[in-house]
Amino acid sequence: MLRYANPANFLAVARIGIPITGFVSGVLFAVGLWMVFTVAPADYQQGETVKIMYVHVPAAWLGMASYSLMALSAVGTLVWRHPLADVSAKALAPLGAAFTFLCLVTGSLWGKPMWGTWWVWDARLTSVLVLFLMYCGIMALWNAFEDPARAGRAVAIMTLVGFINIPIVKFSVDWWNTLHQPASVARLDGPTIHPSMLWPLLIMAGAFTALLLTLHMMGMRNEILRRRVRTLGLMAAQVGEAAE
Amino acid sequence: MIASLGTHGGFIVASYALGFVVVAGLVLRAIVEHRVQTKRLAALEERGMRRRSEPGR
């Protein structure tokens, strides 16, 4: 891993990795969507509305996974001053925010026909909304500093403090009485979903995960370029000043 | 097609449409940003700017 800590090495890896993960994501999306609309049965209670699950659940998983990866990156920034750690964290924030937003809106679109309401202030929904607001706060903090290194340290502290919300999101359905259903896939006693629905869900989750990897590498590559542009821009300004 | 998705087909279509818009938006944003930064970097390098760590400097 440390071999690739160098941004130049990372760019070389990303050049190969981005098309591979992008292709894998595309194939998995094609297979997953085909299974969702042709193989996966309607739910005996929810009917076809259960199809929203195949977008909503992977989006929820990625919303939490992105934040967990950001927390790992934050440790890399604060403990090891890893040269790519805050680049990784900055690239993840908008991705996590987008997937959490998708989770919230598709949840609402699922809730209206099934629960009869777009929204309830139960522990799961509220903690996911808090997660989305934290992503927004973190993106605002990134933009509040001129120097990306200073921003990286401030964001890392905020990210680690906010990580307390991740177990709250995960276990909210066990700790409190919620309208949102309890976990049915990631359970100690195994999934409670029938395999005819579980497989399309896992394939869609794989597609979304490969997409996250692709977008994360693209975002990191862009951030490295942005920092190079900033450095060279400052050098150009200094040269210009010296010439005057 | 929406009719084949039952009485709540609109909710299903809206969910997948939003998913498509979000994914397409993220991909487009990454591609456009890469083009912008690559052009900016090339313009600076054309002006003779090189990083200290760059080989050949």
Residues of A in contact with B38 (CB under 8 A): 225
Contacts made by residues A39-43, CB under 8 angstroms, sequence distance 24+:
A39/A196, A39/A200, A40/A196, A40/A197, A40/A200, A41/A194, A41/A196, A41/A197, A42/B6, A43/A197
The whole domain housing A78 covers 51-175+194-235
User: Chain B residues with CB inside 8 Å of A112's CB?
Assistant: 11
How many domains is chain A built from? 1
pLDDT (tens digit per residue) in A149-185: 889 999 999 999 999 999 999 999 889 888 888 877 7
Chain B partners of A219 at a C-beta cutoff of 8 Å?
Answer: 30
Q: Does residue A162 sit within a domain?
A: yes
Question: Hey, what are A136's tokens?
Answer: 């927004």
Q: Is residue A34, in this structure, part of any structural domain at all?
A: no
Cross-chain residue pair B19–A106, CB shorter than 8 Å: yes
Q: How far is A189 from chain B (nearest CA, A)?
A: 30
**Whether pLDDT at A16 is above 90:** yes
- The three-class DSSP label of residue A47 is strand
As a whole number, the mean pLDDT across chain B is 86
A31 touches chain B (CB under 8 A): no
Query: What band does B57 get if pLDDT is binned at 50, 70 and 90?
Result: very low
In a domain, A227, yes or no: yes
Which of A103, A214, A232 to mutate against chain B (most B CBs within 10 Å)?
A: A232
Q: Is residue A87 assigned to a domain?
A: yes
**Amino acid, res. A155:** V
Question: Does residue A21 belong to any structural domain of this protein?
Answer: no
